[in-house]
Structure 1
Amino acid sequence: MECVFGLVGDGFALVVADTSAVNSILVHKTDEDKVMLLDSHKLLGASGEAGDRVQFTEYIQKNVHLYQFRNGIPLTTSATANFTRGQLATALRKSPYSVNVLLAGYDKDIGPSLYYIDYLATLHKVEKGAFGYGSFFSLSTMDRHYHSGMSLEAAITLVDQCIKEIRSRLVIAPPNFIIKIVDKDGAREYAWRETINEAEVAPPVEAFPEAGTITA
C-alpha cells in the first residue's frame, strides 16, 4: 500500500513518501526512506518493487554525480528527468524496472519543478502528482485544496490533510511518512509524520533460563 506524492509551491517543491518496507503480507520495517537526495538541489521519490526501487534510484544518483564530476556543472532538473526517462525507456525493452518516480528540483534561473515519471517511461512536468494506492486519496485532496504558489505552511497543512485521508480511508494504511523539501537553500529532510516508533515495536527479548534451571 505504497504512497508517494509531491507538489510545487512558492519557491520550493516537496516530496512525501510512506516509510513501510513490505513483502506480501509482511511488514519488515516502518522507517524506510524512499525519497533519495540525488544531489544538493534534487529529490527523487520512488515507489515500486523494493529491489527495483533501490537499484534504479541508486543508479540514477550515481550517474547524476558522474556527470557533475566529468563536466564540472550539475544536470538541471529537466535534464535529470529526461535522463531518468531514457533509462526507463531503454530498460522497458529489455528488463523493465517496476518503479515509478517523482523528481523534484530547484534550478537557479527556473525555480522549483516537479516531474512525474512512471514505469512505462511516461514523463510529465506537473505541479502536483502521486503514485501508489494512496494516490486515490492524495490526488483528490490536492485537486480540491491545491493552488499554485502555495506557501510552505499551507503546503504542509495540505500534506497533513493528504496523510490523514490515506490513514483513515486506505484499508491497510502505512503508519509513517517522511517529508522532504527542495528550494534555493538545497534539498533536505523537513519532517516525519509517525504513528509507529520502530524502537517500540520489538521490546528486548528476555534471555532463556539456563538448562536445568527450574523456574516458577
Structure 2
Amino acid sequence: MECLLGIRFNDYVLVAADAIDARSIVVNSHNEEKFCILSDKLLIAVSGESGDTTQFSEYIQKNIQLYKMRNEYELSPKAAAHFTRRNLAEYLRSRTPYNCNLLMAGYDDVEKKADLFFMDYLATCVELPYCAHGYGGYFTLSTMDAYYKPDLSQAEGMELMKKCVGEIGKRLVINLPRFKVRIVDKDGIRSMGEINTKDLKIFD
C-alpha cells in the first residue's frame, strides 16, 4: 500500500513518500516519516515492514557516517548504493532478511550530477531517471514517461510530481492523501513541503 516516487533531473532529484503508517486494514499514523538522511547530499526513502525499515535505514546511516569519520570524505551516491545493495543481499541470504524497498537519491560533487537508485527487498539495484515503489507505481510510471525531461526546472519538476500524486489520488483504490517531498541538489537536502490530494483538481 505504501508508495515512494523518485525523479532524477540533470542537477537535482525529487523524492516523494506517502505519510501513511498502516498495518492490515488499520492506519496507525497520518504523519509517518519515510526519509532517512545519510549524509549532506544523500538520502533514502524506505517502505516495507516498519521494524525492518527503521533498523536497516539506521544501520546504513550509521555505517556511512562511520566511513566518513574514518576516511575524512563521504561515499559518493553510487558507492553508497552498492554498499546498501550488498548489505541487503547478505541479509537476504541469512535467517534475518530485511523486508525493505528503497529509493536512494544523492548529488555527486565529483561528477557534478544527480543520482537516483532503485532497490527492492530482493537486493535489486538499478540507476534510473524515474521510478516508484508500491501500487502507486502502476499509475505514475506512465505519467513520468509522458512528461519527463531531464532538463526541467525545479518548479516544473514539482508540477510533474503533483501530476503523479494526482493520478494516485484519482486511480488508486487505497487512500494516500499526503506525500512529503524532498529535493537533493548541489546545495544539499531540503524539504519541498507536502502534496495533498485534496488540494489537487484530480477529478476535473
CA distance in 2, matches of 1:173, 1:151: 29
Q: How does 1:69-148 map to 2 (within 5 A)?
A: 69-94=69-94, 95-110=96-111, 111-148=113-150
**Structure 1 counterpart SS, 2:155:** helix
1:58 partner amino acid: E
CA distance in 1, matches of 2:35, 2:160: 19
How many Å apart are 1:173 and its aligned residue? Answer: 2.2
How many Å apart are 1:149 and its aligned residue? Answer: 1.9
Q: Which runs of 5+ in 2 are unaligned?
A: 199-204
How many Å apart are 1:195 and its aligned residue? Answer: 5.7
CA distance in 2, matches of 1:188, 1:59: 22
**Aligned 8 A contact 1:10 1:152 in 2:** no
**Structure 2 counterpart SS, 1:188:** strand
CA distance in 1, matches of 2:196, 2:53: 22
Q: Normalising to structure 1: TM-score of the pair?
A: 0.88
1:153 partner amino acid: A
Q: Which residue of 1 aligns with 2:25?
A: 25
- State, as a whole percentage, how many aligned pairs show the same letter: 44
1:4 partner amino acid: L
CA distance in 1, matches of 2:173, 2:22: 15
2:3 partner amino acid: C
CA distance in 1, matches of 2:116, 2:11: 12
Task: State yes or no: 1:64 paired with 2:64.
Answer: yes
Q: Which residue of 1 aligns with 2:201?
A: none
How many Å apart are 1:186 and its aligned residue? Answer: 0.3
CA distance in 1, matches of 2:9, 2:175: 26
Query: What does the per-residue CA deviation read over 1:133-159, in whole Å, with 9 as the maximum and x for residues that have no partner?
Result: 111111111011112222111110010
**Aligned 8 A contact 1:106 1:182 in 2:** yes
Cα RMSD between the aligned structures?
A: 1.2
How many Å apart are 1:51 and its aligned residue? Answer: 1.1
1:99 partner amino acid: C
Q: Which residue of 1 aligns with 2:4?
A: 4
Q: Which residue of 1 aligns with 2:186?
A: 184
**Aligned 8 A contact 1:16 1:35 in 2:** no
Please say which structure displays the higher CA radius of gyration: 1
Query: What does the per-residue CA deviation read over 1:20-75, in whole Å, with 9 as the maximum and x for residues that have no partner?
Result: 00111110111111121111101101111111111111111111111001111011
**Aligned 8 A contact 1:15 1:43 in 2:** no
**Aligned 8 A contact 2:169 2:197 in 1:** no
